[in-house]
Amino acid sequence: MTAAEEAAAQAELLENVIATAQRLIKKAARDGATITPVLIAEKVQKAAATFDEDGPSQVDQGKAVSILIQRNSHWVGKSTTLKDDKNHVEWLTAARKRDWHYWRRYRDFLESKLSDTVVEGLNEATDDILGLLEDPKRSDDWDRRGLVVGHVQSGKTSNYSGLICKAADAGYKIIIVLAGMHNNLRSQTQMRLEEGFLGYETTIDRDPGMPIGVAEFGEDLKTNSATTRAENGDFNKAIAKHFHGISPEERPWLFVVKKEKSVLTALLNWIQTRVADSTDADGGRKLVTKLPLLMIDDEADHASVDTGEQMFNDDGTPDEEHQPKTINSLIRQVLHAFTRKAYVGYTATPFANIFIHHKGATKKEGPDLFPRSFIINLAAPSNYVGPARMFGKMTKEGRKGALPLSRNISDHYDPETDAGWMPPKHKKAHVPTYNGQETIPPSLREAICAFVLTCAVRELRGQGDQHSSMLVHVTRLVDVQNHVREQVEEAVRRMRQKITRRIDADALLDQLRNIWENDFLPMRDEVAALSPAEERPPAMPSWDEVLAILPDVLDDIEVRSINGTAKDALDYAAPGAALKVIAVGGDKLARGLTLEGLSVSYFVRTTKMYDTLMQMGRWFGYRPGYLDLCRLYTSPDLVKWFGHIADASEELREEFDYMADARLTPEQYGLKVMSHEVLTVTSPLKMRNAQTLSLTYSGTRPQTILFHRDARIQQQNLDATDALIASLGSPWEDSPKYGRDGDQDSWPSARLWKNVDAAKVLAFLETYSTHPNATSAKAALLSEFIIKMTETGQLTQWNVALLGGGLGEGDAHTFPGGDPSTNYSIRKTEDSDDPERNDPKSFAIGVLTDPKDEGIDLGDDAWREALARTRAAWKPDPARGRVTPPDFPSGKGIREARGSLGASVDRGLLLLYPLTPFFYKDKAPERLIVPGWSKPIMAFAIAFPASDNPIEVEYEVNLLYWMQEYGPSE
């Protein structure tokens, strides 16, 4: 037996022992035992003994125990649902689920790999989704369309695999999975469904091949697949000729197809000519009436939505296969050919889907793909590492709680000359050069060194039987990617030669040891401190141990292009030794494709669009036992943007939670999303509305976070604030304080005015100058909204608060009726430490308000109502940092309470913040933010109560500015 074969046998033995021990633990738990480390160790010992036929097994029981302790500590929050039950009939009962076979096989398969709680969470979530679809045995016409929103790389495929199993058990006969736009993702999806649903490997002639996955956990269910895992295994005209009609008595048929014009056209023609059994009386359309359809749309916001945004080839010619309007039309025509159908989209970035016009329909294609029946927000397991954990949460003191895994890079191009190794804008003829040489920049060399060390540590931690990947994503152009791959290959080759032959290796070994001592060792401890006990990374090996295995590690590392072929996915599935791969790619690995064991990412892209960036974040997901080794090498701007979109995503999910608690519909959620400032990072083309956006400020809290770097405008805004305060007279209260059920709230040095006429707030907004590029805090729009609301009798009365008592410095200023002050609030700016690199016309802060400030005018009874609303909408979701129920109301909860408690609190709240004029570094003032301005910088936020009768205002979108500022989408 070779070393590789022996390693593979050991890995299989360990997997079998863990799976057996997991079943024993599950049985013990069902019998009432508490799962403890002692119980787990006992069951592992018992499981290992079952493999002792040829003498004592060589399984690493300590490793098995460690994996099972971690696995059994995971938990999953509850999913949240918005639904519209119009024409829906409840049908999913316990009796109906009694004899299910597909789900039982898949459940047992999952339980061999995951904890019971995670599997039960998936069971509940898929029951919820299936129950919102229609009973496939219901004989009259029905059409259900929904959307499942997960987190990036969080296990959406496992969810829809479970849904497919249950749908097949329930009686759905045709299951179509739309699996991305490239062969690698389609093949990967096909293989996952072979493992979780079919139970066999597909072959070229489409006969069942080797049993895999669920086949070990139940009978062969003789399921049919019209597609295979091969490069050419998609549906096409030639395949269609061999398939005749499908009878309702047959086992279900699975189709895993790309979103391509030719593939979908062949599928539609086959359905219309070979499967249809009736004709529409009105239009003569061919119809399928005897076979219920389930269509799963993976990455449903991509290509399926009719954006009108054409995809282009590298040479600039239109890609005929990827015309969104055509693909959208074909998907809808396939659905429209069935009288009984269900469509379920899956995505982590649902905004394009929600922008679909909910009443869009044509005679030929039927309704558009708006998820009018339901939207479900899935919770991720507690070990999921998503944007909130990776990039932290924004507070008024700056971003907090981020994992310290990002590394800033700036040597990939020179902004002065807009040239270099990889400038943001380049053509397909670009040849990457650094200092005049066709070689990688030092930052990429360091990233490769980090990957080499990661592979070594994973080997020494006993994870050598698992894949390890590095991602290099710096260009969308294939020709340029090929140059990058060659340069990375050359760098790895030179490292291998130096380490293996010990020739001229001193400088390289010094660099590796420097990264080891100054990065890897301290980061392990920092990540451990930020992780729950059960997720803390293992101890680090010694440098000598790492040094000893470096030659073998470098010998194993391969550099590959990810170019969209099925081979990219198949390589990971092939038996044999685990891969150590540096994957160089672009758009073809940006969506859906999972890079197994991804640990180091080198990422340079110019787009700032929410959905495009989030989908490119392949580094989100699960990193058991090696999270501390993961690194993200990227530009400071991209780290900042990822932080922004993590915040925006959380706000929209919170909005969703409140609307679900209020039992609102998907259509109503669509209106809320469209008025959110996240639009600044979502392509306007995906809104199907090219020029004008409508929004309502009802229930929102716009705040000024982008400011003019102009002393004249700062004086204008300070004058506007003084004029407003002078018009208010004596405060209703100085330094407000409340009991708050024993946990007192107070605002020292603040002043609060109540019952202020709306005209005074409008006069302030008319003279305050907001920045023209601000997203939601636009003074003219705010004024227009308030005026329209007052015309309906709303927002006629206001409360105003001037917040004081900060720790920042500035020249003394006396607000009318008050004492002179030199202490102003500090809000961390996004300025660089190097003033030369800052925007000369504007500066930004992260967050202005503390949610607590929105309660400055609320008595204890209203505060309790806000807390009750916050708790009612709150759902545990560790991926969003939600572990323990809140003990204070959120800003959203306060605004909901404002809108529900009558005239005494149903009013707007204007919050005025004097900010320090200094840029602070290490808690000390370093320089003036605005040249020549040392008085307070005035900022404001408005808390608008939620309204049952909100008014919308419109504003124009400058598409040219949008594209220049945020770059292209996919």
Domain match, 274 and 187 both: yes
| Cα–Cα distance for residue pair 894/902, rounded to 1 Å | 14
For 519-537, what is the mean pLDDT? 90
Total of domains in the chain: 4
With respect to residue 703, please indicate whether it lies within any of the assigned structural domains.
Answer: no
Contact 380, 74 (CB under 8 A): no
CATH code for the domain of 109: 3.40.50.300
Contact 344, 148 (CB under 8 A): yes
| Average pLDDT score, the chain | 85
Which band of pLDDT confidence, cut at 50, 70 and 90, is reported for residue 605?
low
Three-class DSSP category at 368: coil
Check whether 83 has a pLDDT greater than 90: yes
With respect to residue 958, please indicate whether it lies within any of the assigned structural domains.
Answer: no
With respect to residue 115, please indicate whether it lies within any of the assigned structural domains.
Answer: yes
Q: What angle do CA 952, 958, 963 make, to 5 degrees?
A: 125
Domain match, 863 and 922 both: yes
For the stretch 184-220, pLDDT in tens is 889 989 999 999 999 999 988 777 889 999 999 988 8
Three-class DSSP category at 314: coil
Q: What single-letter DSSP state applies at residue 5?
A: H
Three-class DSSP category at 295: strand
For the stretch 140-184, pLDDT in tens is 999 999 999 888 777 889 999 999 999 999 999 999 999 988 888
End-to-end Cα spacing for the chain: 48
For the stretch 310-338, pLDDT in tens is 455 555 565 555 555 888 899 999 999 99
Q: What pLDDT, on the 0 to 100 scale, is given for residue 77?
A: 79
For 250-263, what is the mean pLDDT? 93
Domain match, 439 and 350 both: no
With respect to residue 674, please indicate whether it lies within any of the assigned structural domains.
Answer: no
| Cα–Cα distance for residue pair 878/453, rounded to 1 Å | 30
Residue type at 107 in one-letter notation = R
Domain match, 46 and 104 both: no
Q: What single-letter DSSP state applies at residue 196?
A: I
Torsion, Cα of 355, 358, 361, 365 (10° steps): 60
Domain match, 274 and 225 both: yes
Alpha helices in 662-710 (DSSP H): 666-674
Domain match, 738 and 854 both: yes
Which band of pLDDT confidence, cut at 50, 70 and 90, is reported for residue 400?
confident
With respect to residue 700, please indicate whether it lies within any of the assigned structural domains.
Answer: no
Domain match, 586 and 734 both: no
Contact 776, 702 (CB under 8 A): yes
Alpha helices in 704-818 (DSSP H): 711-728, 758-767, 779-791
Domain range for 469 is 406-634
Which band of pLDDT confidence, cut at 50, 70 and 90, is reported for residue 664?
confident
Which band of pLDDT confidence, cut at 50, 70 and 90, is reported for residue 666?
confident
Contact 778, 757 (CB under 8 A): no
Name the nearest CA neighbour of 582 among 468, 470, 447.
Answer: 470
Domain match, 478 and 626 both: yes
Domain match, 291 and 242 both: yes
With respect to residue 645, please indicate whether it lies within any of the assigned structural domains.
Answer: no
Check whether 227 has a pLDDT greater than 80: yes
For the stretch 711-749, pLDDT in tens is 999 999 999 999 999 999 999 989 999 999 888 899 999
Domain match, 340 and 449 both: no
Domain match, 803 and 938 both: yes
- Other beta carbons within 10 Å of 289: 13
Check whether 384 has a pLDDT greater than 90: no
Q: What pLDDT, on the 0 to 100 scale, is given for residue 316?
A: 57
Strand (E) positions, 596-675?
598-603, 631-634
Domain match, 103 and 228 both: yes
Name the nearest CA neighbour of 670 among 954, 345, 358.
Answer: 358
What are the DSSP calls for 203-256, one per residue? Answer: -TTSSEEEE-GGGGGS-----EESS-SSTT-S--HHHHHH-----TTSPPEEEE
For 425-452, what is the mean pLDDT? 94
Which band of pLDDT confidence, cut at 50, 70 and 90, is reported for residue 673?
very low
